[in-house]
A = this chain, B = another copy of it.
Amino acid sequence: MHIAFIGLGNMGAPMARNLLKAGHTLTVFDLNAATVASLCAEGAASADSARKAVAEADFVITMLPAAAHVRTAYLGEDGVLAGVRRGVPLVDSSTIDPATVRELATAAAAQGNALADAPVSGGTGGAQAGTLTFMVGATPALFEQVKPVLANMGRNLVHCGDTGTGQVAKICNNLILGISMIGVSEAMALGVRLGIDASVLAGIVNTSTGRCWSSDTYNPYPGVIETAPSSRGYTGGFGAELMLKDLGLAADAARSVKQPLFLGALAQQLYQAMSQAGDGQLDFSGVIRQYQPRTGA
């Protein structure tokens, strides 16, 4: 299949590579010449605009940092909609707000193209290994149509509902994640200060009602989980700035339906404080440091 891939960042580039490996014909577009060259060396063709990249494509994927980029990529003068053939399916894998997705889907539908949102989880590791989870918002027919292609890049393809619900699923999951990580941080820091061993406490929580991914798989207290970022100085992992972006999307979405997000908004401020302290590039589980006295433990 001839696929156009727009956006070759930390996530997009390895995803595109997996499409090449699967035997697809690929035309790519990105402003970063070096990455484009690297993909071309591996067999992709390139174009100097999104419009040109999609001209011959049977399938289009976009993977961009934020809503403004996605909007330009689709609606701009040199964008996808200006160049794509009628009937070609469009998949946006960026993490953006559901409202923008729905607006783009309407514009695409008006010229005969169906658009699915398919944000991912799994990080750069999952992108490289081809084990991403795709949360797909699409009609049932479109979901069936895009599945075989996404399967070359990910392992779990989840149909979330109509267009936009892929973003909703991702935002809501990460809202819980951002909150529960701080909940675990408050409890682990408190417990240790009160005299319980960190691993013993985590063991109890993990077999009880406090059980959660933030405790049993990604515990923020150093030494509890050897493979977690907390055991290597909070390097690698999912940066606090990325968590801030996702909590920002949740906040904006909540405002659009007039729902308060009490814990979500406060969690956002705590990651913001982490960012202000210069630790925004560290893994978000480093938020536990705000509960530990500056000197000593």
Contacts and interface: CB of A to CB of B under 8 A. Distances in A.
A160 interface: yes
Nearest to A159: B200
A28 to B, nearest CB: 29
A47 to B, nearest CB: 29
A187 B176 contact: yes
Specify which of A184, A191, A250, A277 lies most central, judged by the most chain B CB atoms within 10 Å of its CB.
A191
Contacts of A290: 273
B183 A259 contact: no
Interface in A267-297: 267-270, 272-273, 275-278, 280, 290-291, 293-295
Chain A interface helix/strand/loop/mixed: helix
A176 B183 contact: yes
Nearest to A252: B248
A195 to B, nearest CB: 6
A92 B141 CA distance: 50
A32 interface: no
B248 A260 contact: no
A165 B172 CA distance: 35
Nearest to A276: B258
A205 interface: yes
Contact of A272 (B158, B259, B280): B259
A169 B161 CA distance: 40
A98 interface: yes
Contact of A269 (B162, B210, B262, B272): B262
Interface stretch (A82-90, A103-111, A211-219): A211-219
Contact of A294 (B250, B270, B277): B277
Contact of A201 (B172, B248, B253, B276): B172
